[in-house]
Chains A and B, each alone.
Chain A
């Protein structure tokens, strides 16, 4: 079994090379006090690291960018300056933060609210896609948005609108058009769209399963079957 000191040096080398440097793969190689020592050394090394130098191109579409957009969306929600159109990617985490609800708890409440507490895994997968801005908004039912709106303390209409916004690429005129469209979608029972395919999430769903099967579950329909799906 390698010792903590050697693993620490290997870790530092990987980190300095710009590798993934996930501490878990190193920590899993030692146990007990060695593990604690290695964890302490890695933690201190990372805390003292100068961090990454700014590179706008590398930053684009990174996890760090996603998080800063979410925080910036919080600031917009707090009423600083003019609010720009926000997509689900920014708005949902910001609202969740405002409501002080952890993702885990939100999923549990959402699954219960739509009447499927036993399908929380599936609900979690769909909600995750929503937070990433990857679930087509036109497929999400009014029922889901109504429950989500209640949990997050926001209107279903606003959530519908945000779902139509492509994060970071929307002009104010586009946003106004989408708001009008979303109002129709929320209020008009005749509104209907073709069901979207289910999201490609990393559960037990492979790319080959991407076409919605005829006997898709009710949860699938609620998240992909359009506003009136029930």
Chain B
């Protein structure tokens, strides 16, 4: 099928090929961010906006959910996430290396949430949220200071990195976070690590997972 490819040379001489939405949706975050940056530098704002939309569509809801765990109201969480997405693209546009985009986005989100809590300490409680399910002021039942204060992602990363082998990490990935059963996890690990001796068993999966959770609780 005939497809139009737009090759544009921007003011910095950046070659830029405009992509369709379904193509952009297949790009990992890093490449999507790079695409938007290139589009902006090439002066193609329509293409940049489409790339931004696809990134926002992909990430916005989950970022808001994460912020909601540490903030009292949806409008505050949405503000912080909007700022996070804005900062991710600004950093890329300014030439900062975003590295692995998921980690970069996580770092920015954590900083913005911390900034929000700092700013909150300095101002009186003022209403700014009119969501249906919410009401004015801080709802103490929905967030506690400890949850907001602890850098959860850092704690998990630390415990995860300290796991003694790659197959332990795969157990945590598959069983704890990706929802595979113990049996499926054992099979998957044995496929990934065919030389494992003895092979992974259901019981071992349970042991590794509960040790991970115990260590995580200690880290928290």
Residues of A within 8 A of B (CB): 5, 9, 12, 15-16, 21-24, 27-28, 33, 35-37, 39-56, 58-59, 62-65, 67-68, 70-72, 74-76, 80-81, 93, 97, 102-105, 107-108, 120-121, 124-125, 128, 201-203
Q: A75-B40, A104-B123 are in contact. Are A121 and B57 (CB under 8 A)?
A: no
Q: Is the CB of A36 within 8 A of B220?
A: yes
Which A residue sits closest to B210, measured CB to CB?
Answer: A5
Q: Say which one of B78-86, B185-193, B195-203 lies at the interface with A.
A: B78-86
Residue in A55, A64, A108 whose CB lies within 8 Å of B60: A64
Name B's interface SS. helix
Q: A51-B59, A68-B49, A71-B85 are in contact. Are A46 and B66 (CB under 8 A)?
A: yes
Q: Is the CB of A124 within 8 A of B152?
A: no
Residue in A35, A50, A64, A105 whose CB lies within 8 Å of B61: A64
Residues on B with C-beta less than 8 A from A62 are 57, 60
Q: A59-B57, A68-B52, A68-B56 are in contact. Are A24 and B69 (CB under 8 A)?
A: yes
Residues on B with C-beta less than 8 A from A16 are 179
Residues on A with C-beta less than 8 A from B141 are 28
Q: How far is the CB of A81 from chain B (nearest CB, A)?
A: 4
Which A residue sits closest to B219, measured CB to CB?
Answer: A40
Q: Is the CB of B152 within 8 A of A107?
A: no
Residues on B with C-beta less than 8 A from A97 are 83, 86
Contact residues of B between 135 and 181, Cβ < 8 Å to A: 136, 141-144, 146-147, 150, 152-153, 155-156, 176-177, 179
Q: Is the CB of B155 within 8 A of A40?
A: yes
The complex places the Cα of A197 from the Cα of B124 at a distance, in Å, of 30
Which B residue sits closest to A11, measured CB to CB?
Answer: B65
Q: Is the CB of B40 within 8 A of A64?
A: no
Which A residue sits closest to B54, measured CB to CB?
Answer: A54
Residues on A with C-beta less than 8 A from B60 are 62-64, 67
The complex places the Cα of A128 from the Cα of B136 at a distance, in Å, of 13
Residue in B45, B124, B143, B217 whose CB lies within 8 Å of A33: B217
Q: Is the CB of A43 within 8 A of B85?
A: no
Residues on B with C-beta less than 8 A from A68 are 49, 52-53, 55-57, 85
Number of interface residues of B (CB under 8 A): 68
Which A residue sits closest to B53, measured CB to CB?
Answer: A68
The complex places the Cα of A104 from the Cα of B75 at a distance, in Å, of 11
Q: Is the CB of B144 within 8 A of A35?
A: yes
Residues on B with C-beta less than 8 A from A43 are 66, 69, 152-153, 156
Q: Is the CB of A124 within 8 A of B217?
A: no
Residues of B within 8 A of A (CB): 21-22, 24-25, 40, 43, 45, 48-49, 52-66, 68-70, 75, 78-79, 81-83, 85-86, 89, 102, 106, 116, 119, 123-124, 126-132, 136, 141-144, 146-147, 150, 152-153, 155-156, 176-177, 179, 213, 216-217, 220
Name A's interface SS. helix
Q: A54-B22, A62-B57 are in contact. Are A203 and B130 (CB under 8 A)?
A: yes
Residues on B with C-beta less than 8 A from A58 are 57
Known: A27-B147, A42-B69, A51-B62. 17 other contacts (CB 8 A): A41-B176, A41-B177, A42-B65, A45-B177, A46-B63, A51-B57, A63-B61, A63-B64, A67-B81, A68-B56, A71-B52, A72-B48, A97-B86, A104-B126, A108-B124, A120-B127, A203-B130
Q: How far is the CB of B69 from chain A (nearest CB, A)?
A: 4
Residue in A54, A55, A75, A125 whose CB lies within 8 Å of B45: A75
Q: How far is the CB of B28 from chain A (nearest CB, A)?
A: 10
Q: Is the CB of A53 within 8 A of B82?
A: no
